[in-house]
C-alpha cells in the first residue's frame, strides 16, 4: 500500500477514526473537571552522617552507596511516615525520591490544600533529620552505658584494670560524638513552599494524551475493519478482482434506496449518473468497431447490485444517441424492467417464446423515447433455465439483433442461478455490474469464473453506486447540456421499424 492508499482508508473510515478520538477526549475532559485539584510540595535534604570525635575537621567525606541506600530505606519506611502523620494528619500523600548524582533526598507531600502540602513536606524532612540524629545518639548512649559498666567493674576488681585508660578515652570520644550527633548530620537545604498551581489535574496534558490514545484506537479500528471488509471499494479493486476493464463508474444517487427504480438518464439527463451511463454507451460503441455487438447482456454477481438499473439506463442512453435499441427483460425469476418504465407485465418475452404472442405485439414504445422499445419478461415460467436454453430463445434474440442497432438484455444474477450462463452463449457481449461497498470481492471473482467456464464474451464491468466523497479521483463537475449527437443524429429507421423487420 502507498501513502495514498492509507489516506484513502482513513478517509473512507473517517468516522471510525473521529468517534473514538472525540469520545476519549470528552471522557478525559469530564473526568478532569470532576477531579479534585491536588497540590504537591517538596523539601530537599542533603543526607550526610554527623562527624565523630575522631573525624572532626576532616573534609571530602562522601557516604558510600550502601549507606545512602540504607538512609533511603529509612526515609521511605512506614515508621517515619506514621510519625509525620501524628503532626499533619492522614490526608497528605507522602513519598521520597533520590538522585543517583547526589545525596539529596526529596521529601514530597501531596494534598488538596497547598498550605497543608508544604507543611507536610517540611515536617516530613524535619522528622527524618530528627530520626537520624536520635538514632545515632541512642547508639552512642548505649555504648557509653557499656563502657561505664566496664569502668565500675574495674574499680571493684572484677575486670582486669589494664584497659582502664582505653575505656576512659573512648568514653570521652563518645561524649563528644554524642554532642555532635545531636546538632549536625543531614540538613534541610530547600524548604517546601505552598505551590501556586495544582499538580493534578493537568487538563492540557490529559486531554492531549486522550486525543492521541483515541486517535490511535480509531486508526487501528479503521484499518482492522478495512482489512476485514472484502467488499469492492473502488474501480482498482474491481479491476484486480475481475481482470476486466471498468467501462463506467456510476455515482451513487442521493435519494437512492434499495428497491427503488430510477432511469436517471430520463429523469435527470444532466446529472453525473446520466453522464456515467453515456460513458458506458460510448465504451460499448467503441468496442463495436472491432467486433459485432448487437446483443449485450447485463448481469451481476448477486441481486441488488444494480444490473436492471444499468441495463435500463444503457438502453436509454444508446437510444438517445441515435441507435435503434430494444431492451428485453430476461430475468424470468424476479423481473424489474416493467417497474422502471411503469409498464404492465401481463405479456412479454415468455409469451413470445411460448408462441402466445408475437414480438411486435409485446414490444412497448416508451413515451418520449422514439428509438427505444421495451420487452418485459411476461408471465414467469416454472423452469426459466430450460425455457431460455431452448431454440426459441436463441432464434428470437438472434433474429431481433439483425433488425436493430443494439439489444440490451437484463438477465438474472450469475451466482444464484444458471440462467445468465445460458444467455451468455447467445449474446455478443456481457457486462458485469458490481456495487460499491456491497459486492464482495469473492462474489465478483466467482461470477467471472462461472462466466468464463461457458466462454462468455466478457466486455468489462460497471462500478455502480460509487460515492465520489470516498475518493478525490472522480470529480463530477461537468454537468451541462446533453451532447448534440443525441438530438441531431439522423434516424433512417426507428426501433419499431427495425423490430418489425426482425420479426418478419
Beta strands (DSSP E) in 300-388 are 325-329, 364-366, 369-375
Alpha-carbon distance values, 145 to 133, 172, 180 (Å): 18, 12, 18
Dihedrals phi, psi of 327, to nearest 5 degrees:
-105, 120
Per-residue pLDDT band at 13 (split at 50, 70, 90): confident
The model's pLDDT over 275-328, given as tens digits with 9 standing for 90+, comes to: 999 999 999 999 988 888 999 999 999 988 889 999 999 999 999 999 999 999
pLDDT by residue (tens digit) across 115-152? 999 999 999 999 999 998 988 888 888 988 988 888 88
Residue 232: band (very low, low, confident or very high) from pLDDT cuts 50, 70, 90: confident
Q: Rounded to the nearest 5 degrees, what angle is found at the Cα of 444, between the Cα atoms of 426 and 401? A: 20
- Full set of structural domains in the chain with CATH: 1-35+201-229 (no CATH), 37-190 (3.30.1890.10), 245-252+269-476 (3.40.50.300)
Model confidence band, residue 334 (pLDDT cutoffs 50, 70, 90): very high
Task: Quote the pTM value.
Answer: 0.63
pLDDT beyond 60 at 472: no
- Residue with grid cell 576512659, as numbered in its chain: 168
pLDDT at 50: 83
497 confidence band (pLDDT: 50, 70, 90): low
Residue 306 and residue 336 in contact, taking contact as beta carbons nearer than 8 Å = no
DSSP structure class, residue 347: S
Task: Output the pLDDT for position 462.
Answer: 94
Q: Across the chain, what does the average pLDDT equal?
A: 85
Closest CA to 429 of 277, 292, 230, 245: 292
The total number of residues shown for the chain amounts to 504
Q: How far apart are CA 278 and CA 221, in angstroms?
A: 39
Task: Answer yes or no: is pLDDT of 488 > 70.
Answer: no
Q: Quick one: pLDDT band at residue 214, thresholds 50, 70, 90?
A: very high
How much is the pLDDT for 371? 92
Residue 481's pLDDT band (cuts 50, 70, 90) = very low
Amino acid at each position: 500500500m502507498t501513502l495514498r492508499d492509507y489516506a484513502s482508508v482513513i478517509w473512507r473510515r473517517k468516522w471510525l477514526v473521529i468517534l473514538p478520538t472525540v469520545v476519549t477526549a470528552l471522557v478525559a475532559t469530564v473526568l478532569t473537571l470532576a477531579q479534585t485539584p491536588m497540590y504537591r510540595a517538596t523539601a530537599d535534604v542533603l543526607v550526610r552522617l554527623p562527624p565523630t570525635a575522631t573525624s572532626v575537621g576532616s573534609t571530602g567525606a562522601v557516604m558510600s552507596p550502601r549507606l545512602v541506600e540504607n538512609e533511603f530505606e529509612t526515609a521511605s519506611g512506614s515508621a517515619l511516615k506514621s510519625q509525620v502523620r501524628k503532626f499533619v494528619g492522614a490526608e497528605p500523600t507522602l513519598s521520597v525520591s533520590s538522585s543517583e548524582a547526589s545525596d539529596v533526598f526529596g521529601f514530597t507531600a501531596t494534598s488538596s490544600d497547598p498550605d497543608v502540602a508544604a507543611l507536610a513536606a517540611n515536617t516530613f524532612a524535619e522528622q527524618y533529620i530528627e530520626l537520624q540524629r536520635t538514632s545515632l545518639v541512642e547508639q552512642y548512649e548505649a555504648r557509653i552505658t557499656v563502657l561505664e559498666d566496664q569502668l565500675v567493674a574495674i574499680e571493684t576488681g572484677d575486670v582486669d584494670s589494664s584497659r582502664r585508660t582505653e575505656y576512659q578515652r573512648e568514653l570521652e570520644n563518645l561524649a563528644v560524638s554524642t554532642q555532635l550527633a545531636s546538632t549536625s548530620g543531614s540538613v534541610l537545604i530547600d524548604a517546601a513552599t505552598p505551590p501556586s498551581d495544582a499538580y493534578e489535574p493537568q487538563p492540557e496534558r490529559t486531554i492531549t494524551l486522550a486525543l492521541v490514545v483515541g486517535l490511535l484506537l480509531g486508526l487501528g479500528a479503521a484499518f482492522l475493519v478495512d482489512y476485514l471488509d472484502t467488499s469492492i471499494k473502488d474501480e482498482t479493486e474491481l479491476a484486480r478482482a475481475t481482470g476486466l476493464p471498468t467501462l463506467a463508474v456510476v455515482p451513487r444517487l442521493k435519494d437512492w434506496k434499495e428497491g427503488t427504480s430510477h432511469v436517471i438518464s430520463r429523469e435527470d439527463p444532466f446529472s453525473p449518473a446520466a453522464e456515467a451511463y453515456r460513458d458506458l454507451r460510448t465504451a460499448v460503441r467503441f468496442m463495436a468497431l472491432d467486433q459485432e455487438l448487437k446483443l449485450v447482456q447485463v448481469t451481476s454477481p448477486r441481486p441488488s447490485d444494480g444490473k436492471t438499473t444499468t441495463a435500463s439506463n444503457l438502453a436509454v442512453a444508446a437510444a438517445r444517441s441515435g441507435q435503434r435499441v430494444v431492451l428485453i427483460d430476461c430475468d424470468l425469476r424476479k423481473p424489474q424492467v416493467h417497474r422502471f418504465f411503469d409498464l404492465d407485465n401481463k405479456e412479454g418475452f415468455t409469451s413470445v417464446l411460448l408462441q402466445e404472442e408475437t414480438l411486435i405485439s409485446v414490444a412497448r414504445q416508451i413515451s418520449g423515447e422514439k428509438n427505444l422499445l421495451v420487452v418485459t419478461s411476461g408471465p414467469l415460467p416454472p423452469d426459466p433455465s430450460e425455457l431460455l436454453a431452448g431454440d426459441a430463445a436463441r432464434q428470437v434474440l438472434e433474429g431481433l439483433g439483425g433488425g436493430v442497432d443494439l439489444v440490451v438484455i437484463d438477465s438474472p444474477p450469475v451466482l444464484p442461478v444458471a440462467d445468465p450462463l445460458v444467455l451468455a452463449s447467445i449474446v455478443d457481449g456481457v457486462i458485469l455490474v458490481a456495487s460499491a461497498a456491497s459486492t464482495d470481492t469473492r462474489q465478483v471473482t466467482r461470477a467471472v469464473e462461472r462466466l468464463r467456464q461457458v466462454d462468455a464474451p466478457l466486455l468489462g464491468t460497471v462500478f455502480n453506486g460509487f460515492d465520489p466523497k470516498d475518493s478525490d479521483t472522480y470529480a463530477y463537475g461537468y454537468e451541462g447540456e446533453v451532447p448534440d449527437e443525441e438530438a441531431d443524429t439522423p434516424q433512417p429507421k426507428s426501433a419499431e421499424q427495425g423490430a418489425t423487420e426482425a420479426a418478419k
